[in-house]
Structure formats: structure tokens, C-alpha cells
């Protein structure tokens, strides 16, 4: 909870700055005599205090948040290792060691980054969008609705591409485990390979898996490029909507020049939040894939285990 509280503090500066610019612009346009040095310095000091609060909150997020993620990774690795100790020989006969090692290393690291960054980033983005909507709705409801009408469409397109990206990330992780398993088998049996001069055959087999991994990565980046291109189109549309609609509203004196500046700054803040979501979408997919692969191992039933009525053996002699 403290982590999310600090995350909310980091949004204050971006949400207050447009209001400050709006206040100073309207004051300069309507009552220039009231725009004194004292007012300007007071506003500057106020914003500086907010920046100091933002700095300490961001430090807490970067430090404590990463430590929290590392603790989650440690506990998951302990549970995974403990569960593997209970599994039968059949599981290890049918599962490549490289796949298991991938779950211990890269998968759990991605879960760590996901557990720390994604909740914060999504919470910050949701908070900014909600607060910005409330503030702008008080300025002009209709212009605010025009601007925010594009956000649900962006979210719909994002969710659509996310499903395709998630499947591609899952295949990428599975194939990476296959490559790890192949490398491990080849290195452990390097003496046998060299004894029978099978280096060329080993290289061919490795290249097949390596090229398959490349094809999966191409598919993954194809969906990612479509996702990012879609968001960039909506970025431009939202800017055009604010400039054109805002200028018309200002022409008919529905909003002031200060309000128009505030709209432009808030749209920049909103688009920055959406871009952050886009940037962390890949990390979100990697984290969810890591959790799925972790649960695949944890869900493997234990063939031999203690009975619920088992009695601990004590005072063993002999």
C-alpha cells in the first residue's frame, strides 16, 4: 500500500503543472497588473516543493519496490525448488533440464519486474486519466468528452493485440527452454560428440531450433509493431482533436486561452501515460508468461507423499 501511495504522489506534479500554467496565462490575459513577481515566485516555490515530494516518492518506489519484487522472486524460487524435490523420476525423464533452468532464471526474473513495475505503472496511468478527466470536465464538459472519447477505442485495440502478443511470448519462452536444453545436452556430451565426429550434426540440430526461435521472435515483434503503430495513430488523432476542437471552442469563447493551454498539457500527460502502458505491455506479457510457466511446474502432482494421518518418526535408534 505504501508503494502505491508513493506512486500516487509522483503524479501530483504532472497534474498540477497544467493548472499552474492555466492560472498564470489567464491572469496575464485578463489582469496583467495582478501578475506580480511575488505571485510568480510563490507559484515557483510551490511547484518546487511538489518536485521535492515527487523525488522522495520516486526514490521509495525505485528502492523498496525492487526489493519487494526480489523477495517475491526468492519465495517463488524456494517453492519451485521444494516442489521439484518431491517429484518422481518420471517427471525428470520426460522434462528437459534446460526447460526447468529457464523457469528458475529468466522466467522468475520477469515475474519480479512484472510484480514491481506493472501495478505501479497501471495505477499511475489510471489515476492520471481519472483526475485529468475530473479537472477538465469542470472546465468544459463537451470538449473533455470529445478528447476522452478516443481512449476507450485505444484500450479496445490494445486488449485485442495483447492476446496475440501473449501467445507469441509463450511460444518464445518455450522455444528458449528448448535451446537451453539442447546446449546443455551438447556440452555435457561433448566428449562423446567429438569421439564420433558429430560436431556438424549437432550444429545442424542447434540451427533448426535457433531458426525456429527467430521465426517466433519475428511473429512476436510483428504483433508488437502493430500494437505500437496503432497507439501512435491515436496519439496524432487526439492531438488534432484537441487543437481543432479547442481552437473552435476558444473562438466561440467557450474556453479561455489558459484553458486551451491546460488541455494541451493534459493531453501530453495522458499520451505519456498511455505510452508508458505500451512500453510495459511487453514486460506485462513476459511476467504473465513467467507465471504461467511457474504454475505449470507447481501443478504437477506429487506421486509419492505423506498421508494426511502420517505420524512423525521420533527417537530413531540403530
pLDDT band at 1 (very low <50, low <70, confident <90, very high): low
pLDDT of residue 304: 66
Domains, the chain, ordered by start: 80-296 (1.20.1560.10)
CB of 34 closer than 8 Å to CB of 27: yes
Least confident of 52-66, 126-140, 219-233: 219-233
Euclidean distance between CA atoms 49 and 46, whole angstroms: 5
Position with higher pLDDT, 173 vs 30: 30
Q: Which three cell numbers stand for residue 318?
A: 540403530
* pLDDT at residue 190 in the model: 79
> According to the model, what pLDDT value does residue 49 have?
92
**CB-neighbour burial class of residue 147 (10 A; exposed 0-12, middle 13-18, buried 19+):** buried
Reference 154, options 269, 231, 239; nearest CA is: 231
Mean pLDDT score, 48-54: 90
pLDDT digits (tens, 9 = 90+) for 238-278: 888 888 998 999 888 888 888 888 888 888 888 888 777 77
pLDDT band at residue 58, thresholds of 50, 70 and 90?
Answer: confident
Most confident range (mean pLDDT) of 126-130, 189-193, 227-231 is 126-130
Percent pLDDT > 90 in the chain is: 3
pLDDT exceeds cutoff 70 at 305? no
Mean pLDDT, all residues of the chain: 81
- The C-alpha atoms of residue 297 and residue 305 are separated, in whole angstroms, by 17
Q: Worst-scoring range by mean pLDDT, 133-137, 140-144, 193-197, 246-250?
A: 193-197
Of residues 243, 19, 45, the one with CA closest to residue 131? 19
| Number of alpha carbons in the 13 Å side-chain half-sphere of residue 104 | 12
Instruction: Give pLDDT, residue 282.
Output: 67
The reported pLDDT for the residue numbered 85 is 84
Task: Report the pLDDT averaged over residues 163-170.
Answer: 73
In Å, what is the CA distance from 239 to each residue of 137, 234, 259? 18, 9, 15
Amino acid at each position: 500500500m505504501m508503494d502505491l501511495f508513493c506512486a500516487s504522489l509522483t503524479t501530483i506534479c504532472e497534474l498540477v503543472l497544467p493548472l499552474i500554467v492555466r492560472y498564470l496565462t489567464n491572469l496575464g490575459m485578463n489582469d496583467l497588473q495582478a501578475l506580480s513577481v511575488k505571485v510568480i515566485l510563490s507559484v515557483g516555490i510551490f511547484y518546487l516543493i511538489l518536485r521535492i515530494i515527487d523525488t522522495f516518492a520516486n526514490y521509495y518506489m525505485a528502492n523498496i519496490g525492487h526489493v519487494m519484487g526480489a523477495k517475491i522472486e526468492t519465495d517463488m524460487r524456494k517453492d519451485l525448488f521444494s516442489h521439484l524435490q518431491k517429484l518422481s523420476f518420471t517427471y525428470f525423464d520426460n522434462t528437459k533440464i534446460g526447460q526447468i533452468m529457464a523457469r528458475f532464471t529468466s522466467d522468475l526474473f520477469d515475474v519480479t519486474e512484472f510484480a514491481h513495475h506493472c501495478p505501479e505503472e497501471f495505477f499511475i496511468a489510471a489515476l492520471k486519466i481519472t483526475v485529468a478527466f475530473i479537472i477538465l470536465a469542470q472546465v468544459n464538459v463537451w470538449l473533455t468528452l470529445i478528447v476522452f472519447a478516443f481512449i476507450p477505442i485505444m484500450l479496445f485495440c490494445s486488449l485485442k493485440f495483447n492476446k496475440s502478443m501473449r501467445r507469441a511470448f509463450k511460444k518464445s519462452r518455450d522455444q528458449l527452454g528448448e535451446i537451453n536444453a539442447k546446449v546443455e545436452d551438447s556440452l555435457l556430451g561433448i566428449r562423446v560428440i567429438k569421439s564420433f565426429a558429430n560436431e556438424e550434426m549437432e550444429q545442424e540440430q542447434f540451427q533448426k531450433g535457433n531458426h525456429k526461435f527467430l521465426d517466433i521472435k519475428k511473429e512476436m515483434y510483428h504483433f508488437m509493431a502493430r500494437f505500437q503503430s496503432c497507439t501512435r495513430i491515436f496519439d496524432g488523432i487526439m492531438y488534432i482533436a484537441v487543437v481543432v476542437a479547442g481552437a473552435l471552442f476558444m473562438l466561440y469563447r467557450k474556453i479561455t486561452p489558459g484553458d486551451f493551454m491546460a488541455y494541451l498539457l493534459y493531453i501530453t500527460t495522458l499520451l505519456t501515460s498511455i505510452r508508458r502502458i505500451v512500453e510495459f505491455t511487453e514486460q506485462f506479457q513476459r511476467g504473465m508468461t513467467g507465471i504461467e510457466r511457474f504454475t505449470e511446474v507447481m501443478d504437477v502432482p506429487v506421486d509419492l507423499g505423506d498421508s494426511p494421518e502420517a505420524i512423525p518418526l521420533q527417537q530413531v535408534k540403530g
